[in-house]
Chain A
Amino acid sequence: MTKELMKGNIAIAEAAIRAGLQAYFGYPITPQTELLEWMSARMPELGRAFVQSESELGAINMVYGAACTGKRVMTSSSSPGVSLMMEGLSYIAGTEVPMVLVDVMRGGPGLGNIAPSQSDYNQIVHGGGHGDYHTICLAPSSVQESIDLTVLAFDLAEKYRAISVVLTDGSLGQMMEPGELPPMQPLKTKFSDWAVSGTEGRERRFLSSIYIDPPAEEVINLRLLRRWQQIQASEVRYKDYYLDDADFAVVGFGSVGRIALSAVRTARAEGIKVGLLRPVTVSPFPTQQISELATRVKGILVTEMNSGQMLDDVNLAVAGKVPVEFFARLGGVVPFPDEILAEIRRMATSDLKLEGHPRDRWLARMAA
């Protein structure tokens, strides 16, 4: 296969189609809309299901219905639309049916703006919908990775009867880059023994998230939790850069991870021994890897396009073993590599503290 120049959103759409997507349901919202538009042409052309729903509520519940058949199904949206999907996501988690959601994050809260942001990290990684559940969340940082992680998202969702989220943002969705698409997979024709299809030749099946008897619901909650433990043990993915001999580490995901990499390279050229850890699965989070990193570096800089939502997870992993610093841009503002570079230089030359919270120190620096 050869590389083609394509937009992140379209790369995800075509990758999903090639991963054997059988039904897509969605609603327009910037900066995700190209994905829906691509599906509106390609899915019918291939004889597969496409519906532009009346709302994201409609879309996620169409996904829910189709997911109950065990067929490969997805939706995509951006922050405000994903908020509207939270009810359905919770039901889907409670019913243990696989699906893929693509969230192309934009600035918030509220209607916010259409610029890139990472401020829905907590909503996706730490819940969002009601009840005890986890989603698998994959955070690409390039068009190629958007393609690869979309394919992986379907496989993981099916393997664990779980929700896989591809968490990207407006810049990754809109940017054009060369990428190599996978070959077209054949559509699934065999479905799991829980999937509904009509009872012909077998016992009837029903799929629901209702367990009126609390002890029965507890059994389900425990099952979900054990499955999550298994996912944590087997599915953590991350990329490390220049960490082998590093004195300092930067942690950033998605497009910020990519910007941080430029800063890290420049800092290396200046002689600062700094590396980057970029979580690819932000859920399950590379807690152990960061915990181990904390035993061998002098300081860690967390950088995000939110107010430190992943910072909390890094802090839990670091557990006070080493000073943590924080730098962020909010509300749809994208950091420049130079801004992160300045933070790396500061970390490498100043007296780092264990006391206090990195977010507070960052806010204080901004005020100064």
Chain B
Amino acid sequence: MTIAETLVYSRPKSFTETQSHYCPGCTHGVAHRLVAEVLDEMGMREHTIGVASVGCSVFAYNYLNMDFVQAPHGRAPAMATGVKRVYPDRVVFTYQGDGDMISIGTGEIIHAAARGENITVIFLNNANYGMTGGQMAPTTLPGMKTTSSPNGRDVETMGFPIRAAEMLSTLDGASYVVRRSLHNPKNIRMAKKAIRTAFETQVRGLGFSMVELLSSCPTNWGITPGDSLQWIEDKMVPYYPIGDYKVSQMVADAKI
């Protein structure tokens, strides 16, 4: 008797075999995998240059199997601009955390979007600074305890969170700006589709694209991986609604 084999899973070519350094239950790995799958499916691996940032994903280039550069904290969109302007036909993307992109790198991201820079930004929002041990980020929720807001984020003195997707969507230069989440399979599938659309936006020369991904940080949140996913759903999604904040007419017409 012969058994027919159907391949249902394999490692994307865009993904290396390096063992991950991410904490158990961290969704950075999921986001990496989605980027790798999308670049494989688009056949773009060999034509892509990634820009890693400073944060837990600083070693993204160890996992994503393509040319990479690594930017100073917050400067990835500027570095990506430099790469893209001299290689307009390559796919150029940044992979940034929330501290990186919307705190120290606020100027760079806003102007990359405003210029309509033809790059893709993968933005991981985990409501804290993961790498440095869980300090308050611009995305930390009101009342949320972190190592630098031990009594909870008091908006009177620490201000309010920044909703990056909403903010960037106000810029005429931004073509595709959406928020997705990585907390369950349905949302992960939606996230992958958005990442595909973002890269397609770039490949078609339609301008700036950004996918914000709500992501877990069980280590610094001090809860289990399972509870972290639930926490995203219960706490983060209400504050950071999943949705399409900017889909320019050209991107909509392209019916990606």
A interface residues (Cβ-Cβ under 8 A, vs B): 22-23, 25, 49, 51, 53-55, 57-59, 61-69, 71, 73, 87-88, 91, 95, 196-201, 204-210
Q: Is the CB of B78 within 8 A of A196?
A: no
Question: Could you write out 17 A-B pairs with CB less than 8 Å apart?
Answer: A23-B82, A25-B82, A54-B108, A59-B78, A61-B72, A61-B78, A62-B79, A62-B82, A62-B85, A67-B82, A69-B83, A88-B75, A196-B83, A197-B67, A206-B61, A207-B70, A209-B70
With the chains together, A67 CA to B79 CA distance in Å?
10
Q: Is the CB of B107 within 8 A of A55?
A: yes
Q: Is the CB of A53 within 8 A of B78?
A: yes
Range of interface residues on B (Cβ < 8 Å): 20 to 34
Given A65-B51, A201-B46, 11 other A-B residues pairs in contact with their CB atoms under 8 A: A22-B86, A23-B82, A53-B111, A65-B78, A68-B82, A69-B86, A95-B69, A196-B49, A196-B69, A196-B83, A204-B66
Q: Is the CB of B83 within 8 A of A66?
A: yes
Q: Is the CB of A197 within 8 A of B85?
A: no
Inter-chain contact total with CB atoms closer than 8 Å: 128
B interface residues (Cβ-Cβ under 8 A, vs A): 45-49, 51-52, 58, 61, 65-72, 75, 78-87, 90, 107-108, 110-111, 115
Chain B residues with Cβ below 8 Å from A55 are 107
Given contacts A53-B78, A65-B78, contact A197 B65 (CB under 8 A): no
Q: What 6 A-B pairs have minimum CB-CB distances, sorted nearest first?
A: A65-B82, A61-B78, A65-B79, A54-B111, A208-B70, A62-B82
Chain A residues with Cβ below 8 Å from B82 are 23, 25, 61-68, 73
Q: Is the CB of B87 within 8 A of A69?
A: yes
Given contacts A197-B90, A198-B49, A199-B46, contact A58 B69 (CB under 8 A): no
Which of B70, B83, B86: most chain A CB closer than 10 A?
Answer: B86
Picked from A63, A87, A199, A206, the residue with its CB within 8 Å of the CB of B70 is A206
With the chains together, A58 CA to B49 CA distance in Å?
19
Chain A nearest Cβ from B85, distance in angstroms: 4
